[in-house]
Amino acid sequence: MTTVPLSKSSLLKLFKVNFLKKDELNCSSLEITNTKIIKFNETYRLLVSRNNGTLEHWEYDMEIHQWLNLSIINSENINDASSSNTIEDFLYFIDPTSNLERVFTINGNEIITEYDLQNRCIKKQHMINVSSDVNCIIWSININKELNKIIIGLTNNNIQIYDIPSDSSNELIYNSQLVSSINNDEKILTISFIDDDKHILTGTSLGKIKILSYENKNSIQVIKTLKIDNKKTVNNKNKNNKKKFKKDDKVPIVWCLEYIQKYNVIVSGDSNGDLKVWDFKSSTLLQSLSISSSSTSNGGNTNKSKNDILNLIYNETNDCIFTTSLDKKISMFKILKSNNDESFKVHLLTSRLVNKSTTNILQGYDLRALHSVDDFMVIGNDKGMVQIFNQCSQFNTLDNNTTTSKLPILLRQEDTFVNNKVVFNLTNDSLIKMYTLEGKILSKMKINPIDSFTVNKSNEIMVLFDKESTTIRSVFLEHVTNDDILEGIKVTKLPLENLPFSDNNGSRNKKDSLRIQNIQFINENEILILYKFNTFDFNGNVTNNNLLYKYNIEEMEYVKIEISGFFNEEEDDEDAEEELANILIESVEILPENKLLITSEYKIIVLHPAENTYKLESFYELKNNKIQICRYHKKSDTLIIVTKNFKILQLNLKDGSQTQWSMMNYGSFPKIVVNDMHKSSVISDIVSLPNSDKLLFYANNWILIINLMKNLPMKAKKRKYNEILDTSDDLEHPEVPNTDSFVLITKFSNLYKLGLVDDKENEVYVINDYLQVPGSANTNKVLSSSPASGKYSF
C-alpha cells in the first residue's frame, strides 16, 4: 500500500492541559481508598472506591476473560451536602436472603451509607448514635460471618454493633455498644468478628490488639489485650550508652489484622514493619517476621529502615498470606506445616515492587488497597490504578505483564472538550482554563466548585452545574479579537432566574435526593436539563424518576417536557410518560431537528419536538444485550451501538431494524481487536467523521477505525501504524484489500478523549497526557515532548 505524503498542516501539535488533574489541588482525586472482590453467581464482581467519592462496579466476563465496567456511582452526603464525600472504607457482600449485592460505606463522619448498585443511587444514610462525643467519627467497619450484623470502630475507642434486618428493610437496628472509659484518643483502625462471631478483634492506633467476647450477643467485654513491641531499647550491648525514650516517642500502630480459623491464630501488620503471628487460645506471640527493608545512607553508614505493613489478607484457596507495605511492595507468605505434628511456620516466599516507576526502579506507588478471593488478588494504589492478579497462587513465579490485568482509569470526559476550535479544561473543580488549539491561554476563570459545564456552539454562553444538587450557574464569554484572530475571552456573570428546582441558596430541594444528571444546549439559547431522583418503598426497593425540562436562557423561562405517543396499541399517553420517567437514563443526545435520543441499559427512545410537547417517534429494546454506547451517525441516519459484551450494531433510526452491514458484522469486533481489549475493557466513546462512512472507537489505550461500507474480517493480522493514522477516504487506494476495512492503533497510553476539531472537517483531536491537534509547523521539536507522540493525519 502506497502512502500519500502528508503536509505539515495535517500533523498533530501537543500542549499540556493537566487534564489528568496532576496539579496539587486535585492530585488525590483518583486515589484508591479500597477495593473488594466477591464471587457472584458464576462469575466475580469487583468494587473500587476512590478518594473523590466514586464507586466503580466491575464484573469479570468468564467467556472473554475481561473485566467489564457495570457502573460508576458518585457519593453524596444527603444530610450535609457541604461535607466531604470521600469513601474511607466499605462493606461489599451478597445478601443471603435476597442474593443481591449490598454495599455500606463510611465517609469520615458519623454516617453509614447504603447504596443500590443496580439502580446506581444511595439507598439510605444511617446516622449512628454519637451523642456522647460530637467529634466522634466512624474509623473502621466490618460484617459478621452470617452477614446479618455490622460492627464499627470509632475514633473515641468505642465499638457499636447494628443488626441488618432479613425482611429487606433498609433500616439498621441498634444492637449493642462497648463504651471505653479510658484512652478516648485511641482510634480503632481495624475491627472484625472472629471465631464464628463469638469474639471481636480490634487493632488500635496505640499498638494494641484487643480480643473481646461477644458470645451472649447482648454485651461486649474485653477479655485480652496484646501489645505490639515498641522496641524502646536501642543498644543492648553497651548499657551505659543506653538511650532513654521520651513519652512522645513514636507509638507503634496496628494497621491490619486477620484471624485464620484454620490455624486458630491472629496475624497482625504494624508500623514497625513486622508481621506477627499470635496464638489465639493462649494469646502468645508465635512468630515475628520482617519484610525486606529499604536502605538509607547516613554519613557513609548504611541503615535499615522498616516500612509499615498497611494491609494483609489470608488467601484460603492457596493457604498463604499477602501483605502490602509502605515501601510499595507486595509480599507473599506461605504457611509451612510440620510432618510430625500440628505445628507450622510462616515463611516469606517473595517480596517485590509492583507498578514500578519508569524513571526510578526504587520508586512505585503506595499500595492503598488489597483483597483476595479464590485465585484472584486485587491491589489499588494512590495513583488510581487497580491491578488484578489472576493466578495469585503463582505470585512468586509469574510475570506481572502476562498474568495480570489493569483496570483503566475512567476519567470524566466532560472535564475537557474542544468546541468551535476553543479548548475548555476543568483543571480542578474551581478553575476553568480556555486555550486556542495552538496552546495559547485565552482566559482563566475561578469559580465556586462545580462538577461539570457545557458551552453553546458559538462559545458565548457557558452553563456550570453540580451533578449532585440542583445548582445551575451561567457566564457570558465575550471574544476579544485582533484582525479576526481570537486573542482572549472576557468572562461576565450571566444571572439565571426562574430555574426549575433552584438550589442556588444552598438549601436542599423538597424532593429528596433530586439532582442534575446532565445539561445540554439544544440551540444557542436553550438548554435541556435532565433531573433525577429516587423513591423507595417500605421494603427499600428503589424506583428511578427522570424529569426533563427545557430552559430558555434569554427569556429565563422553563417548560417541562411532556411526552405523548404510544409504546404499543394498548397503552396511552400516560404510559409513554411513565415509561420515560422510570427508566435508568444513560445518555441524552440532541439529534438534527432538535430530536432527542434517549438511551437506557436496554432501551432506545427517539422523541421529536411538537407544540409544547415531545412526540414518541420510535422505541425499541435490546433484550439480551446491555447498551454501553449509543451514538447517532449522520450520513447514514442510523444508530451505532456498542454493547457491554463488545458486540456492535447499526440500527435504522426510524424502526430500529438492523442494517445490512450490521447483520453481516453483528457478533463482535474483529478478534484481533477483542484480544487487545484486555488492556482496557471499557470503550470510552464513538466519533463519527463528518460526511464519511468511517467511525472511530476508542478506549484507554487504543483507537479502532471502522468503515461501515466494508465487512469486518474475523481473522486478520494487526496492521502496524508506527507513524501514520490516516482517516481519509480509500478512493486513492483501490488496491486495499478487505482485510484493511479496519485499523487498530495500540500505541496510546492513558487515552482520555477523542473528538472533532470542526464539525465539518475530518480533523480529530487526541487527548492522553497531552492534547494533540492538527496544525503543528515544527513537528520534530514539539512531538518529541511526549512518549506517545507520532505523526497523525486526520
Q: What is the per-residue pLDDT for 13?
A: 63
The β-bridge partners of 558 are 551
Percent of the chain's residues with pLDDT above 70: 74
Burial of 583 (0-12, 13-18, 19+ CB in 10 A): middle
Strand 563-564 to 613-621 pairing: parallel
Q: Which of these, 586, 792, 539, lies nearest to 8 by C-alpha position?
A: 792
Same domain, 440 and 551: yes
Q: Is the pLDDT of residue 200 over 90?
A: yes
Q: Does residue 407 contact residue 389 with C-beta atoms inside 8 Å?
A: no
Comparing 7 with 73, which gets the higher pLDDT? 73
Comparing 245 with 701, which gets the higher pLDDT? 701
Q: What is the per-residue pLDDT for 580?
A: 74
Distances (CA, A) of 709 to 660, 694, 726: 10, 8, 17
Q: In this predicted model, what pLDDT tens digit does every residue of 308-318 receive, in sequence order?
A: 899 999 999 99
Burial 289-326 (b: 16+ CB within 10 A, else e): bebbebeeeeeeeeeeebbbbbbbbbbeebbbbbbbbb
Q: Is the pLDDT of residue 726 over 60?
A: no
Same domain, 293 and 372: yes
Burial of 778 (0-12, 13-18, 19+ CB in 10 A): exposed
Domain of residue 475, CATH code: 2.40.128
Same domain, 530 and 423: yes
Q: What is the per-residue pLDDT for 670?
A: 67
What's the average model confidence in pLDDT over 409-431?
79
Q: Is the pLDDT of residue 115 over 60?
A: yes
Q: Look at 347-361, 699-713, 723-737 and tell me which has the smallest mean pLDDT.
A: 723-737
∠ CA(31), CA(34), CA(40), 5° rounding?
A: 130
Is residue 40 helix, strand or coil? strand
What's the average model confidence in pLDDT over 527-553?
83
Confirm whether 657 is domain-assigned: yes
Comparing 535 with 302, which gets the higher pLDDT? 535
Which residue do the cell numbers 436562557 mark? 553
User: How far, in whole angstroms, is CA 702 from its chain's centroid?
Assistant: 19
Q: Which of 668, 698, 725 is the last residue of a domain?
A: 668
- For residues 37 and 304, give the distance between their C-alpha atoms in angstroms, rounded to a whole number: 35
Q: What is the per-residue pLDDT for 609?
A: 85
Residue 794: CB atoms within 10 A of its CB come to 22
> Which H or E run includes 662?
helix 660-665
The β-bridge partners of 201 are 192, 211
Same domain, 644 and 678: no
Domain of residue 607, CATH code: 2.40.10.480
Q: Does residue 447 contact residue 48 with C-beta atoms inside 8 Å?
A: no
Q: In this predicted model, what pLDDT tens digit does every residue of 613-635 receive, in sequence order?
A: 788 888 888 877 888 899 999 99
* DSSP code string of 268-296: EEETTSEEEEEETTT--EEEEEEPPPEEE
Read off the DSSP letter of residue 726.
B
Q: What is the per-residue pLDDT for 542?
A: 73
Hey, what amino acid is at 772?
Q
Confirm whether 200 is domain-assigned: no
Q: Look at 226-240, 399-413, 429-443, 551-565 and tell me which has the smallest mean pLDDT.
A: 226-240
Q: Look at 94-98, 194-198, 215-219, 378-382 and tell me which has the smallest mean pLDDT.
A: 215-219
Confirm whether 468 is domain-assigned: yes
Comparing 292 with 116, which gets the higher pLDDT? 116
- For residues 88 and 55, give the distance between their C-alpha atoms in angstroms, rounded to a whole number: 11
Most confident of 27-41, 57-71, 141-155, 160-174: 141-155
What's the average model confidence in pLDDT over 356-379?
71
Q: What is the per-residue pLDDT for 11?
A: 52
Hey, what amino acid is at 22?
K
- For residues 450 and 430, give the distance between their C-alpha atoms in angstroms, rounded to a whole number: 7
**Which 3-state string (H, E, C) describes 631-660?**
EEECCCCEEEEEECCCCEEEEECCCCCECH
What's the average model confidence in pLDDT over 231-249?
42
Q: Is the pLDDT of residue 355 over 90?
A: no
- For residues 332 and 349, give the distance between their C-alpha atoms in angstroms, rounded to a whole number: 6
Domain count, the chain: 4
- For residues 309 and 256, give the distance between their C-alpha atoms in angstroms, rounded to a whole number: 8
Q: Which of these, 508, 415, 357, 441, lies nearest to 30 by C-alpha position?
A: 415
Q: Which of 509, 527, 561 is the last residue of a domain?
A: 561
Is residue 215 helix, strand or coil? coil
Q: Is the pLDDT of residue 383 over 80?
A: no
Q: Is the pLDDT of residue 494 over 70?
A: yes
- For residues 744 and 295, give the distance between their C-alpha atoms in angstroms, rounded to a whole number: 45
**pTM: predicted TM-score of the whole model, two decimal places:** 0.76
- For residues 744 and 729, give the distance between their C-alpha atoms in angstroms, rounded to a whole number: 16
Read off the DSSP letter of residue 253.
-
Same domain, 288 and 399: yes
Most confident of 254-263, 388-397, 594-603: 254-263
The β-bridge partners of 39 are 44
- For residues 723 and 732, give the distance between their C-alpha atoms in angstroms, rounded to a whole number: 19
Q: What is the per-residue pLDDT for 503?
A: 57
What's the average model confidence in pLDDT over 644-665?
85
Hey, what amino acid is at 329?
K
pLDDT grade for 98, boundaries at 50, 70 and 90: confident
Which residue do the cell numbers 512468630 mark? 287
Confirm whether 630 is domain-assigned: yes
Hey, what amino acid is at 268?
S
Q: Look at 83-97, 195-209, 258-272, 755-769 and tell me which has the smallest mean pLDDT.
A: 755-769
- For residues 151 and 196, give the distance between their C-alpha atoms in angstroms, rounded to a whole number: 14
C-alpha cell belonging to residue 343: 505445628
Confirm whether 705 is domain-assigned: yes
Same domain, 681 and 661: no
Q: Which of 410, 427, 445 is the last residue of a domain?
A: 410
Q: Does residue 597 contact residue 656 with C-beta atoms inside 8 Å?
A: no
Greatest alpha-carbon pair distance for the chain in Å reads: 97
C-alpha cell belonging to residue 434: 480556555
Q: Look at 219-223, 291-295, 372-376 and tell me which has the smallest mean pLDDT.
A: 291-295
Q: What is the per-residue pLDDT for 50?
A: 86
Comparing 54 with 781, which gets the higher pLDDT? 54
User: How far, in whole angstroms, is CA 10 from its chain's centroid?
Assistant: 35
Q: Does residue 39 contact residue 373 with C-beta atoms inside 8 Å?
A: yes
Distances (CA, A) of 401 to 322, 678, 703: 19, 12, 21
- For residues 291 and 286, give the distance between their C-alpha atoms in angstroms, rounded to a whole number: 17
Which residue do the cell numbers 520508586 mark? 363
- For residues 77 and 637, give the distance between their C-alpha atoms in angstroms, rounded to a whole number: 43
C-alpha cell belonging to residue 401: 505483564
Q: Look at 354-363, 597-606, 655-664, 768-777 and tell me which has the smallest mean pLDDT.
A: 354-363
Strand 771-774 to 596-599 pairing: unpaired
Q: What is the per-residue pLDDT for 775?
A: 57
Same domain, 382 and 517: no
Comparing 169 with 66, which gets the higher pLDDT? 66
Beta strands in 51-109 (DSSP E): 54-61, 66-74, 89-94, 101-106
Same domain, 399 and 424: no
Confirm whether 313 is domain-assigned: yes
Is residue 239 helix, strand or coil? helix
Q: What is the per-residue pLDDT for 27?
A: 41
- The whole-chain average pLDDT of the chain stands at 77
The β-bridge partners of 651 are 639, 658
Confirm whether 557 is domain-assigned: yes
Confirm whether 293 is domain-assigned: yes
User: How far, in whole angstroms, is CA 476 from its chain's centroid?
Assistant: 33
Q: In this predicted model, what pLDDT tens digit does every residue of 255-296 receive, in sequence order?
A: 999 999 999 999 999 988 899 999 999 999 999 998 755 544
* DSSP code string of 528-566: EEEEEEEEE-TT--EEEEEEEEEEETTTTEEEE--EE--
Which residue do the cell numbers 529502615 mark? 305
Same domain, 324 and 370: yes
Burial 25-38 (b: 16+ CB within 10 A, else e): ebeebbbbbbbbbe
The β-bridge partners of 14 are 772
Same domain, 395 and 447: no
Distances (CA, A) of 239 to 231, 234, 236, 245, 249: 15, 10, 6, 14, 20
Q: What is the per-residue pLDDT for 58?
A: 93
pLDDT grade for 21, boundaries at 50, 70 and 90: very low
Q: Is the pLDDT of residue 737 over 50?
A: no
Q: Does residue 162 contact residue 172 with C-beta atoms inside 8 Å?
A: yes
**Which 3-state string (H, E, C) describes 117-179?**
CCCCEEEEEEECCCCCCCCCCEEEEEECCCCCEEEEEECCCCEEEEECCCCCCCCCEEEEEEC
Which residue do the cell numbers 435508568 mark? 584
Q: What is the per-residue pLDDT for 133?
A: 56
- For residues 549 and 518, give the distance between their C-alpha atoms in angstroms, rounded to a whole number: 11
C-alpha cell belonging to residue 470: 440542583
Q: What is the per-residue pLDDT for 429?
A: 72
Distances (CA, A) of 252 to 212, 231, 307, 722: 21, 9, 12, 53
Q: Is the pLDDT of residue 478 over 90?
A: yes
What's the average model confidence in pLDDT over 208-221?
86
Percent of the chain's residues with pLDDT above 90: 26
pLDDT grade for 126, boundaries at 50, 70 and 90: confident
Q: What is the per-residue pLDDT for 174?
A: 83
Comparing 157 with 15, which gets the higher pLDDT? 157
Same domain, 657 and 597: yes
∠ CA(37), CA(38), CA(39), 5° rounding?
A: 135
Q: What is the per-residue pLDDT for 675?
A: 60
Residue 444: CB atoms within 10 A of its CB come to 12
Most confident of 30-34, 178-182, 355-359, 741-745: 30-34
Q: Look at 183-197, 338-352, 570-584, 774-788 and tell me which has the smallest mean pLDDT.
A: 774-788
- For residues 624 and 151, give the distance between their C-alpha atoms in angstroms, rounded to a whole number: 40
Q: Which domain holds residue 2?
A: 1-16+672-794
Same domain, 699 and 758: yes
SS3 percent helix, strand, coil of the chain, rounded to 5, is: 5, 45, 45
- For residues 143 and 161, give the distance between their C-alpha atoms in angstroms, rounded to a whole number: 9
Q: In this predicted model, what pLDDT tens digit does every residue of 427-465 receive, in sequence order?
A: 777 888 898 887 788 999 988 888 789 999 999 999 999
